Amino acid sequence: MKIRRSNERGTFNIDWLQAKYTFSFANYYDPRHMGFRSLRVINNDIIAPEGGFPTHSHRDMEIITFIIRGELAHKDSMGNAATITPGMIQIMSAGSGVSHSEFNPSSENDTELFQIWVESKERGTEPSYSEFRFEDRLEENKLNLIVSNNKHDEVGYVNQDIRIYYFDLKDKNFNLDADKAYWLQMIEGEATIGGESISHRDGISLEHENAQVQVKSAKGLLFEF
* Among the listed residues 93, 128, 202, 198, the one whose alpha carbon sits nearest the alpha carbon of residue 211: 198
Is-contact 37 49, C-beta < 8 A? no
The rounded distance, in Å, linking the Cα atoms of 132 and 88 is: 6
**Which regions of the chain carry the CATH code 2.60.120.10?**
2-138, 164-224
Please enumerate in sequence order all residues whose Cβ is within 8 A of that of 223, keeping only pairs 6 or more positions apart, or say none. Answer: 36, 39, 162, 163, 164, 182, 183, 184, 185
The fraction of the chain above a pLDDT of 70, given in percent, is 100
- Going by pLDDT thresholds of 50, 70 and 90, the confidence category of residue 223 is very high
Reduced to 3 states (helix: H, G, I; strand: E, B; else coil), residue 214 is: strand
Strand 10-14 to strand 163-176: parallel, antiparallel, or no bridges (unpaired)? unpaired
Gap between the terminal Cα atoms of the chain: 15
Supply the DSSP symbol for 8.
G
The rounded distance, in Å, linking the Cα atoms of 39 and 221 is: 13
* Predicted pLDDT at 158: 98
According to CATH, the topology of domain 164-224 is Jelly Rolls (2.60.120)
* Predicted pLDDT at 43: 99
* Predicted pLDDT at 51: 98
Please enumerate in sequence order all residues whose Cβ is within 8 A of that of 25, keeping only pairs 6 or more positions apart, or say none. Answer: 10, 41, 43
pTM: 0.96
* Predicted pLDDT at 152: 96
Find the mean pLDDT for residues 75-98. 98
Backbone conformation region of residue 138, classed left if phi is above 0, alpha if psi is from -120 to 50, else beta: beta
The rounded distance, in Å, linking the Cα atoms of 37 and 14 is: 30
Question: CATH assignment of 2-138, given 2.102.10.10, 3.40.50.150, 3.40.50.970, 2.60.120.10?
Answer: 2.60.120.10
Question: Positive or negative, the Cα torsion across 69, 115, 142, 216?
Answer: negative
The rounded distance, in Å, linking the Cα atoms of 66 and 59 is: 20
List, in sequence order, every residue forming a beta bridge with 73; answer none if it has no partner: 83, 103
129-183 pLDDT tens trace: 999 999 999 999 999 999 999 999 999 999 999 999 999 999 999 999 999 999 9
Identity (one letter) of the amino acid at 191? Answer: A
- Going by pLDDT thresholds of 50, 70 and 90, the confidence category of residue 83 is very high
Please name the residue ranges forming H helices in the chain. none
Question: Positive or negative, the Cα torsion across 162, 224, 130, 139?
Answer: positive
Question: Across all residues in the chain, what is the average pLDDT?
Answer: 98
Is-contact 130 141, C-beta < 8 A? no
